Structure 1
Amino acid sequence: MTDLTTNTTAKAAEGEARFGDYVQLLKPRVMSLVVFTALVGLLVAPVPVDPMIGFTAILFIALGAGASGALNMWYDADIDRVMRRTARRPVPAGRVEAGEALSLGLWLSAISVAMLGLATNWMAAGLLAFTIFFYAVVYTMWLKRATPQNIVIGGAAGAFPPMVGWVAATGSVSLEALLMFGLIFMWTPPHFWALALFMKSDYHEARVPMLTVTHGRAETRRQILIYTVLLVPVALGLGFTSVAGPVYLAAALVLNAVFLKGAWDIWRRDEAAAEADGYATEKRVFRFSLYYLFLHFGALLVDAGLRSWGIA
């Protein structure tokens, strides 16, 4: 076999879709957060859920999240191709055809909604269907390319999972479910805008109207502080509902103090200082924001466990 043949074969192999590429289409890192928050919503609900039904519910909520990811990658292939952090995704890299991503997303959407309805109740299934629609159509196809408020309004898509889990268990929506929704909804803008501060060039080149592109970094810093201030009472308010306890309240007090201090530090920074240290503060706050949400929902889970053991 000649060197030319070997190189051609190697290149062809590199372009072929593998199982991991289809997994990547489902955005597994985003799915992990969806699964965790939905699981917490289901487990802290005041209605006991059969373990098999609970497992089935979370499985199909996860598939619904994966469906949203596949539809997002199908439609956003042109943007992903331009941005450095997304250029190697399966569709823009050419390993998966756009039509395959669309087909996978549609099939998983139908299966996840139908099976969640059969396993739990149709209100939960309807809420899951709306979540997929909101992320794939309202956010991906409209808001993301149309307005700097894309993250603010579009954040609702990521905020629905704990509510879906709650409704799967109870068949209804309550204040607790709304506050869990609100926690994620209000967390989303400062989380993504902190990222956008040190990834502005990507969004600019892709012509995505992120706030950093349309209004500049100074205004983005101000908005991060505003939304973090608005987030604090939502997070603390959840601590005074039936699903929370001393662990959550203590965690929320510490986490929100740290997050608020981070937002304040970002607001006080000027671009010269940020560029000088490679946006160290912004990157630190962004990393902390990842733990922020996980630890809030983890604390809810701990309190639920303590209640079940009669400790709290």
Structure 2
Amino acid sequence: MSDVSYSQLAQPEASFGDYFALLKPRVMSLVVFTALVGLIAAPVAVHPMVAFAAILFIAVGAGASGALNMWWDADIDQVMRRTQKRPIPAGKVEPGEALAIGLTLSGLSVIMLGLAANLLAGFLLAFTIFFYAVVYSMWLKRLTPQNIVIGGAAGAFPPVIGWVVATGSLSVEAWLMFALIFMWTPPHFWALALFMRSDYDDAGVPMLTVTHGRRATRVHILAYTVLLAVLAVGAAATSIGGPIYLVAALILNGLFLKGAWSIWRRDEAMAEADGFAVEKSFFKLSLLYLFLHFGAILAEAVLRPYGLGGWG
């Protein structure tokens, strides 16, 4: 972390919205949704109050990770256009405040999830926070172009935690949901890196586009998308899948493969000419891709008791 003194910046009084922004609410919303799907897809019913408390504390844990990440990355956030308006580089929140909030919420969320659900769920939440804040943010992000590949595990744990809240144990189905997010993460972020490369260059972050160039990144996006498609469609044959999921997976992965193929075929002159329109479109599709896959898993789980979900 750099020695930039954010206290020297003009500091308007922080609002509730500034502190809430520290928690990365958009990332938190995805964490909450995938954790909820993991919980509902599990074969064990959970009391509504336990489920509510569990999802709440998982959300708090995700927010804690976001605050710790913003504290550590405040120096590079100040350099990157995409992140310059975050609370710390904007001078609205002191780094020390973000650290205190992150540590406090981390401890609170882990302890309360362990008490509300079970110790394994609490342990997995603690590991997820540690992995994102320390392994990814403090170690991998500035060290290796594989940062987002390995670090993607942090974002893949929420459905596993949701499953464990319900069952108290791990299973193949939980790890399938983990793998779906884990394999989705690299093409999602590499697509962003293709049209935001200058940000990573300026910040000195060794994203694949910086260390190996955009051509290699395009190849990697296609390779990971092919593997992801095989995994995603194959999951339809498992207990978390079914006809609804299969239809969704076939359509979504067909579109995703088409997008990755289009990205692979492009050279930099083509991309520059249209302002990276294809890459931006693929990035937007990737957001919809994950939401709809987990939405299909949720639909199968909700309809299964009525004989309408799963393979019967």
Measure the CA separation in 1 of the matches of 2:308 and 2:205.
50
Identify the residue that residue 217 of structure 2 maps to in structure 1.
220
Asked which structure has the greater CA Rg, the reply is 1
Aligned-residue offset at 1:311: 2.3
Identify the residue that residue 116 of structure 1 maps to in structure 2.
113
Q: Which moved more, 1:230-239 or 1:48-57?
A: 230-239
Identify the residue that residue 105 of structure 1 maps to in structure 2.
102
Identify the residue that residue 186 of structure 2 maps to in structure 1.
189
Identify the residue that residue 16 of structure 1 maps to in structure 2.
13
CA-to-partner distance for each residue in 1:177-225, whole Å, 9 max, x for gaps? 0010000000000000000000000000000000000000000000000
Identify the residue that residue 234 of structure 1 maps to in structure 2.
231
Aligned-residue offset at 1:310: 2.6
Measure the CA separation in 2 of the matches of 1:281 and 1:113.
41
AA aligned opposite 2:250: L
Q: What is the SS of the residue equivalent to 1:15? A: coil
Aligned-residue offset at 1:106: 0.3
| Misfit runs of 4+, over 4 Å | none
Question: Which of the residues 85, 88, 95 maps onto 2:85?
Answer: 88
Give RMSD over aligned pairs.
1.0
Aligned-residue offset at 1:305: 1.5
AA aligned opposite 2:60: L
CA-to-partner distance for each residue in 1:260-311, whole Å, 9 max, x for gaps? 1110100000000000000010001000000000000000111111112232
1:260 matched to 2:262: no
Measure the CA separation in 1 of the matches of 2:256 and 2:139.
30
Matches within 5 A, 1:171-186: 171-186=168-183
Question: Which of the residues 154, 157, 160 maps onto 2:157?
Answer: 160
1:72 matched to 2:69: yes
Identify the residue that residue 29 of structure 2 maps to in structure 1.
32
Measure the CA separation in 2 of the matches of 1:236 and 1:273.
32
Measure the CA separation in 2 of the matches of 1:250 and 1:152.
28
Equivalent residue pairs, number: 301
Measure the CA separation in 2 of the matches of 1:77 and 1:159.
24
Identify the residue that residue 8 of structure 1 maps to in structure 2.
none
Aligned-residue offset at 1:237: 2.1
1:210 matched to 2:207: yes
Measure the CA separation in 2 of the matches of 1:256 and 1:42.
24
Q: What is the SS of the residue equivalent to 1:146? A: coil
Measure the CA separation in 2 of the matches of 1:243 and 1:67.
30
Stretches of structure 1 lacking an aligned partner (at least 5 in a row): 1-10
Question: Which of the residues 276, 280, 295 maps onto 1:279?
Answer: 276
Percent identity reads 73
Measure the CA separation in 2 of the matches of 1:232 and 1:311.
25
Measure the CA separation in 2 of the matches of 1:244 and 1:49.
20
Matches within 5 A, 1:287-298: 287-298=284-295
1:200 matched to 2:197: yes
